[in-house]
Chain A
Amino acid sequence: MAEPSVACEGLAGRAAQRATASLVLRGVNMSFGADGGSRPVLKDISFEVRDGEFVCIVGPSGCGKTTLLRLLAGLIRPSSGEMLFHGEPIKAPARDRAIMFQDYSKALLPWRTVAGNIALGLEACGIGEPERSKRIDSLLAKMGLQESARHFPSQLSGGMQQRVQIARCLAQQPRLLLMDEPFGALDAFTRQNLQDEVARIAAEQRTTVVFITHDLEEAIYLGDRVIALASSPGLIVEMIEVGIPRPRQQLETREDPRFLAHRHRLFGLLQGQR
């Protein structure tokens, strides 16, 4: 096992970096195809994410949102362009960039309990007992999973399984949290609860978040900034600063004139793309 990386050493030194660019993308292109470029999926993607910022990427299905997230995770390499994370090029997956998948039923280890799944992230960081148990307990408490610690994922609802995924991501103590439509398959109430929790946790931990969704309202509600992608090939059509103060409220925020204005603008843009 590798030695514990920076990702596992907590918040030390992070304050100094706040408000600087955490993530920088310059002219990123991505194509799939037999000859390495027949079908363009992402075209000339350039943006920066500030340290501690919550950025939502929204777009119609098939616009390459998930591809973009996999690029940021380092799971795939771009066809061209530059991607920097805290100044270092992204070449491979790393523990300080946690990724949370949409399909919760496939992303958890079915043979491990809730506590065991959370432990995986800690084991990967080389954190041994008794520190491991302590951290598992605090993550369980943070996500409201204490009652389910000894249950298996298959015994939990979708919302609870996504809580487990969040807890496992947090166990890595990531500097960047990548979320791929994490609440797309959940019912409205569960989804709203989890939105608020993710917003709270991101604020508490000052984690940089890149959150993919196809839901405009979710993007505006959660994001400090919303990036809208058009489809085939995916390119950035709009970037808006949301500018609604936190903490936000499910009812009031969604009735805020700024919220409605953003919604109108993005809706018009994305409708035009169909």
Chain B
Amino acid sequence: MKRAFRGALIPAILLVSWEALSRAGILPMDTLSRPSAIVRAGFNGFADGSILLATWQTVEAALTGFAVAAILGILFGVILGLSPRLERVVGPTVDALRPVPAVALIPLSLLLFGFGLQMEGWVIVFACLWPILLVTIAAVRGIEPRLLELSRVLQLGFAARMRKIILPAALGRISVGLRVAISISLVVAVTVEIVLNPRGLGYGMIIAQQTLHPDLMYAELVWLGLLGWALNVALERTLARWPGGSDSGAMRGRL
């Protein structure tokens, strides 16, 4: 309690002095707004539902793209991780595609899909895929060879081997890639919206800025920060629960 209070001290001082300097006319209202106005704009945005709708659109795109990237990345990552020979074939292609900045694909995606969820989603998939894929390959390579031998001695079938040995053994490292990717997904979603997709929080911010409503823009910015934090926490909670029940606690610290 005392610690939380100490941590909140500096932000509180900054906010109070921001408000005071703004009211005294020292800080310009048209660019820096003021905390009370930002709170009011945010409140209005929530009250009329516009922020909630935009939030849903942004989160929908980010999570859909993230989920598709996670499925593809883990699937191909496990396959390539288990087969060094295949990795030697596919590796150069991956290395060639990976450095392409995802946002550079926005024009292409627009051509293919037009405005809307799909064009945004596929750019996010492209951006999130690489960290998940590469980390999964490394994670599967790093599995203790004894455990793989054990699965052979026990004659586990492919599905059982995946579920009981490979995925739980690799999940600790894969989760690092997933956490990087979930942050990327939100960054790319907002970027696509700011650049040209007329939906979501990014679009809301650019409209607020262009219509001289910096207070609303700030409110959405703060909200996006909270959203990013919430997505990370939600992901961590989900990962901690896998592969089930009481066993997860010990795993988190270990792998």
Does A pair with B? yes
Residue positions of A touching B, CB distance < 8 A: 1-2, 5, 73-75, 92-95, 97-99, 101, 103, 106-107, 109-113, 116, 120-121, 123-124, 150, 152, 154-155, 172
Contact A75 B254, beta carbon cutoff 8 Å = no
Contact B168 A75, beta carbon cutoff 8 Å = no
- Residues in B whose Cβ lies below 8 Å from that of A154: 250, 254
Offer 19 A-B interface pairs, CB within 8 angstroms, sorted by A: A2-B155, A73-B149, A75-B153, A93-B149, A93-B155, A95-B153, A95-B154, A99-B149, A107-B147, A109-B147, A109-B164, A109-B169, A110-B254, A111-B248, A113-B247, A120-B164, A123-B164, A124-B160, A154-B250
Question: Please, how many angstroms separate the alpha-carbon atoms of A98 and B155 in the complex?
Answer: 11
Question: Please, how many angstroms separate the alpha-carbon atoms of A95 and B153 in the complex?
Answer: 6
- Residues in B whose Cβ lies below 8 Å from that of A113: 246-247
| Chain B residues numbered 101-157 whose CB sits less than 8 Å from any CB in chain A | 144, 146-147, 149-150, 152-157
Question: Please, how many angstroms separate the alpha-carbon atoms of A103 and B144 in the complex?
Answer: 11
Question: Please, how many angstroms separate the alpha-carbon atoms of A93 and B146 in the complex?
Answer: 13
In this complex, the interface size class of chain B, counting residues with CB under 8 Å from chain A, is 20 to 34
Whole-angstrom distance between the Cβ of A242 and the nearest chain B Cβ: 28
Whole-angstrom distance between the Cβ of B199 and the nearest chain A Cβ: 41
Contact B157 A106, beta carbon cutoff 8 Å = no
Residue in chain B with minimal CB distance to A172: B154
Contact A111 B164, beta carbon cutoff 8 Å = no
Residue positions of B touching A, CB distance < 8 A: 144, 146-147, 149-150, 152-157, 160, 164-165, 168-169, 243, 246-248, 250-251, 254-255
- Residues in B whose Cβ lies below 8 Å from that of A121: 154
Residue in chain B with minimal CB distance to A125: B154
Per CB-CB distance, the 7 closest pairs between chain A and chain B, nearest first, are A124-B154, A152-B250, A111-B251, A93-B153, A93-B152, A106-B146, A107-B146
- Contacts A1-B160, A152-B250, A154-B254 given; indicate if A106 touches B153 (C-beta within 8 A): no
- Residues in B whose Cβ lies below 8 Å from that of A99: 149-150, 153
- Residues in A whose Cβ lies below 8 Å from that of B154: 95, 120-121, 124, 172
Whole-angstrom distance between the Cβ of B180 and the nearest chain A Cβ: 22
Contact B144 A111, beta carbon cutoff 8 Å = no
Residue in chain A with minimal CB distance to B150: A107
Question: Please, how many angstroms separate the alpha-carbon atoms of A124 and B160 in the complex?
Answer: 8
Question: Please, how many angstroms separate the alpha-carbon atoms of A73 and B185 in the complex?
Answer: 47
- Residues in B whose Cβ lies below 8 Å from that of A95: 153-155
Given contacts A5-B155, A94-B153, list 20 more A-B pairs with CB under 8 A.
A75-B153, A93-B149, A93-B153, A94-B155, A98-B153, A106-B144, A106-B147, A107-B144, A109-B168, A110-B250, A111-B168, A111-B169, A111-B248, A116-B247, A120-B164, A121-B154, A124-B155, A124-B156, A150-B246, A152-B250
- Residues in A whose Cβ lies below 8 Å from that of B243: 111
Contact A1 B152, beta carbon cutoff 8 Å = no
Contact B153 A111, beta carbon cutoff 8 Å = no
- Residue of A2, A110, A120 most packed against chain B (CB within 10 A): A110
- Residues in B whose Cβ lies below 8 Å from that of A73: 149, 153
